[in-house]
Amino acid sequence: MTELLQHSLSKFTYYSSNRTSTRRRIATREYKHLRPCRCVVTQEDNRRIVVSNGKDSLDISRVVNGMWQTSGGWGRIDKDEAVDSMLKYTDAGLTTFDMADIYGPAEDLYGIFINRVRRERPPEVLEKVRGLTKWVPPPVKMTSSFVRDNINVSRKRMDVDSLDMLQFHWYLNSLPLVI
């Protein structure tokens, strides 16, 4: 499974979701400075995995809790029930949560959840919790201040000093990305 995950993540590092061979050649040229991610199962706990890229690494649970359902398309979300469920997942060892700025209240729910973890769980549990989020900006010219300001919106919603991981969705390759 580790090899499969490593192979899959290396594709995401290099390629867009359009997987035609022409697109792959273009993406490989544009991003050849990037290295594929490497995934390693930790020795202490086979329920966790370390994803690394160069000197950067992130220890996450092998099963990631998706929070897309909180976007509201399936009805009203009871925030207390949602946070209680997140705590139950965490107590079961599923400590990694995937969300996005466009998933309705997902980042806000994570902020409530992480504060409950800080108050109600031992510090070693807090050390294992990870919040992975996505930023889906409008198709506008990217500037460093625009990017920083929007990262701070997610950081404040999630009530963290820094984001564990931010996936940047960029839909229009024709617009310049200036950071």
Of 10, 43, 62, which one is at a domain's C-terminal end? 62
- pLDDT score recorded for residue 31: 46
- pLDDT score recorded for residue 160: 98
Of 62, 82, 111, which one is at a domain's C-terminal end? 62
Confidence category of residue 19, pLDDT binned at 50, 70, 90: very low
- Count of domains for the chain: 2
Higher pLDDT, 46 or 99: 99
Q: Is residue 11 scored above 70 in pLDDT?
A: no
Q: Is residue 92 scored above 50 in pLDDT?
A: yes
Q: Tell whether 129 and 81 lie within a shared domain.
A: yes
Interacting residues of 135 by C-beta distance below 8 A, sequence separation 6+ = 100, 101, 150, 151, 154, 166, 167, 168, 169
Count CA within 13 A, CB hemisphere, residue 43.
0
Q: Tell whether 155 and 77 lie within a shared domain.
A: yes
List for the chain the helix, strand, coil content (%; round to 5).
Answer: 40, 20, 40
Domain extent at residue 22 = 1-62
The pLDDT of 26-54, averaged and rounded, is 62
CA dihedral (9, 13, 14, 15) positive or negative: positive
In whole angstroms, what is the distance from residue 33 CA to residue 15 CA? 13
The pLDDT of 78-83, averaged and rounded, is 95
Please, are residues 164 and 126 in contact by the beta-carbon 8 Å criterion? no
Q: Tell whether 114 and 82 lie within a shared domain.
A: yes
Q: Is residue 129 scored above 70 in pLDDT?
A: yes
Q: Tell whether 89 and 159 lie within a shared domain.
A: yes
Of 62, 79, 97, which one is at a domain's C-terminal end? 62
Q: What is the pTM of this model?
A: 0.74
